[in-house]
Structure 1
Amino acid sequence: MLSHTPVRTPAPWTNVYGLARTLLALGTLLTLAFSDSATLFRPVAFQGNHPTCHGVEAGGAFCLVPGDELDAMRWACVAILLIVASGWRPRLTALPHAYISFSVFTGIAIGDGGDQMTAVLTLLLILPALGDRRRWHWNAADPNITHPRWLLLAGVSALVVVRLQMSFVYFQASVSKMPHAEWADGTSMWYWGNSLAFGAPGWLHTLVGPVLANPVGVAVLTWSPLFIEISLAAALLVPQRVRYALLAAGTGFHLCIAVMMGLWSFALAMWAGVLLLCLPLGGELRMRERPTGHTSSVQRARTNATTLDSENPASRAAATS
């Protein structure tokens, strides 16, 4: 007779999803805090003045105030994003966070893929956040608090959709490049690296320039992103131990883009997405307690490192998801 062992649904309220929320908030915060209103809200060819306030865009925060109060609204959004990034009361800050992300993506004149990704992810993260009863999203969930089953399933389902969304984003990013001759023949990064708008800054060009001038070097720089992106697209199909390597590759990949092209808000948004894609559902990032007694240096290094809480039964159940 076959026995049935129930599978425990992992709780979505972890500091992994909390860290993702913080990264998303910081990305939007940097855009608003370090770009003045004259840069963010200006005319764009064939579109007119921003914010355009047409259709659904009219519901954005920057369409609710007159033009001479856009600066005040910008700093009000920065203040709210600071609270979101701190991790305080996720279920109270989830809706304002998603609303600000939508307002920035639809309202500013210089929006990029990071703003769009942030708007999508913060919308999806509303479901787990609304069921999050923690004071801070860094805290471990209280095991004595019982959540309604539908809140648990809604939160986990939203995080699964986030993972599928990120997988599709990386698949599309990789496949859409392949038909272009410059990506196929390995020369695309020569053009990007020497671009006046997106090329390496002067201090970095002395290091990157010789690599871009070398046929092998520029081919490696061109094809590496394609390999990383298609690998991340397949992250949900590989064992968890491989996903950890993909997490490191994806983090480093977007760090290189940020340093070389200055797209820091984009990097923060994608780091948040990569975390949710590659780490197990229900997993916790935690600092182990300082060891006592006689322990080896290797043991001390391991216990002081920030690791995934693989000892959590829910984490183990989710590791194969």
Structure 2
Amino acid sequence: MRRRTFPLPWAAGYGLARTLLALGTLGTLVFSDAATLFREVATVGRYPLCQGVNAGGAFCLVSPDHYDTVRWLCCLVLVVAASGWRPRFTAIPHAYVAFSVFTGISIPDGGDQITWILTLLIAFVAVGDSRRWHWQSSRVLEKPESRHHALWALLSTSAIVLARVQMAVLYFQSCVAKLPHAEWADGSALYYWVNNYDFGAPNWLRPVLGAVVDEPLGVAAMTWGPLVLEIALAAALLMPQRVRWMLLPAGILFHLGIAVVMGLWSFAIAMWAGLLLLLSPLGHDPDFKRLLHRASRQPTASQARSDESAEVRVPA
């Protein structure tokens, strides 16, 4: 029977995305107390609403007096998940915390939503990950000889592919949703965003950005540049891998800029995780220890062979 091969999904690359997703939610919970996270919203009510599916969130299971206790317990779960220890056992608690935060807090942002979606998809990968740490190379795994193991690898890979499609759709929607607005079409939108008192540039950065957006060429470049990058990221899955690697630092700097200017750090961290899933090859397995301690000498032949990711075969 003819067989096809694909890289094992349980590699160090997806582990970094898991860590970033956990750190983004952790930052929200650590730096915001219960009084800030849960408050009344006009015409809606006091959060958490605890209606329908949302009633299953962690903050709906206790009284308001215990919100801070649950918040710190969630932080503990996120610290363990971010550490990379036993992804098989931490995947579902991590996804549950992401769900509880997104559905429970008064004013969730896009970062909380994409964190919940990506964490849920990654849970399908992590539950099948038998490694002790998600930082370990997939080479520590035994070759999946059984049909059951191969099918689980296929399910996990499918979850990562779905996450990549989700990110591509997100960037496509983000770009095309701006186009009907006159400010984005004529290149002036960033002038208003930079000077916005709620989400605009911080005081220490306002003079520099103000000088740029006051110039027609500068404001047009700052407005249309993100649109070009977003549509390129939306089409990234159709591009060669070498082009995707070039898009990765551009995307990271793009979201870093949004975080610095608008203060949306949890959103930026979630999008960095999504960029890693979108732009890295399937089964990407960087050797983080070697990268941190790499000497200037050229790698040996055995080291070069060790960089090859493990593969699994499934019936065609």
TM-score by length of 1: 0.89
1:309 CA displacement: 9.2
Report the AA paired with residue 242 of structure 1.
V
**1:73 maps onto 2:63 in alignment:** no
Q: Check 1:313–1:131 CA distance in 2 against 1; reply closer, same or farther (3 A cut).
A: closer
1:39 CA displacement: 0.8
User: Which consecutive unaligned segments of at least 5 residues does structure 2 have?
Assistant: none
Deviations 1:256-295 (A, max 9, x none): 0011111000001000000000000011122447678xxx
**1:62 maps onto 2:63 in alignment:** no
C-alpha distance in structure 1 between counterparts of 2:81 and 2:198, whole Å: 32
Q: Is the 8 A contact 1:283 1:309 kept in 2?
A: no
Give the corresponding residue for 2:195.
Answer: 194
Q: Check 1:243–1:50 CA distance in 2 against 1; reply closer, same or farther (3 A cut).
A: same
Q: Check 1:58–1:210 CA distance in 2 against 1; reply closer, same or farther (3 A cut).
A: same
Q: How many residues end up aligned between the 2 structures?
A: 302
Q: Is the 8 A contact 1:90 1:135 kept in 2?
A: yes
Give the corresponding residue for 1:117.
Answer: 114
Report the AA paired with residue 172 of structure 2.
F
Give the corresponding residue for 1:250.
Answer: 251
C-alpha distance in structure 1 between counterparts of 2:33 and 2:264, whole Å: 17
Q: Is the 8 A contact 2:8 2:309 kept in 1?
A: no
Q: Is the 8 A contact 1:23 1:271 kept in 2?
A: yes
Give the corresponding residue for 1:177.
Answer: 178
TM-score by length of 2: 0.91
Give the corresponding residue for 1:295.
Answer: none
SS of the residue 2:5 aligns to = coil
Q: Check 1:118–1:291 CA distance in 2 against 1; reply closer, same or farther (3 A cut).
A: closer
Give the corresponding residue for 1:312.
Answer: 308
Which structure has more relative contact order (CA 8 Å, sep 6+)? It is 2
1:178 CA displacement: 0.4
C-alpha distance in structure 1 between counterparts of 2:82 and 2:199, whole Å: 28
Deviations 1:147-185 (A, max 9, x none): 611111011000000010000000000000001000000
SS of the residue 2:287 aligns to = strand
1:7 CA displacement: 3.3
Give the corresponding residue for 2:270.
Answer: 269
C-alpha distance in structure 1 between counterparts of 2:22 and 2:32, whole Å: 16
1:253 CA displacement: 0.5
SS of the residue 2:117 aligns to = helix
Q: Is the 8 A contact 1:283 1:310 kept in 2?
A: no
Deviations 1:183-218 (A, max 9, x none): 000000011101111111011112211001111101
Report the AA paired with residue 23 of structure 1.
L
C-alpha distance in structure 2 between counterparts of 1:54 and 1:46, whole Å: 15
Deviations 1:31-80 (A, max 9, x none): 01001111100000111000011111100000000011101101110111
Q: Check 1:143–1:101 CA distance in 2 against 1; reply closer, same or farther (3 A cut).
A: closer
Deviations 1:112-150 (A, max 9, x none): 000000010011111110110011100112243536111
1:245 CA displacement: 0.8
Q: Is the 8 A contact 1:20 1:276 kept in 2?
A: yes
What RMSD, in angstroms, separates the aligned Cα atoms of the two structures? 2.1
Give the corresponding residue for 1:27.
Answer: 24
Report the AA paired with residue 203 of structure 2.
G
Report the AA paired with residue 82 of structure 1.
V
Give the corresponding residue for 1:228.
Answer: 229
Q: Check 1:309–1:48 CA distance in 2 against 1; reply closer, same or farther (3 A cut).
A: farther
Give the corresponding residue for 1:131.
Answer: 128
Q: Is the 8 A contact 1:53 1:63 kept in 2?
A: yes
User: Which consecutive unaligned segments of at least 5 residues does structure 1 have?
Assistant: 293-298
C-alpha distance in structure 1 between counterparts of 2:56 and 2:110, whole Å: 21
**1:105 maps onto 2:102 in alignment:** yes
Give the corresponding residue for 2:35.
Answer: 38
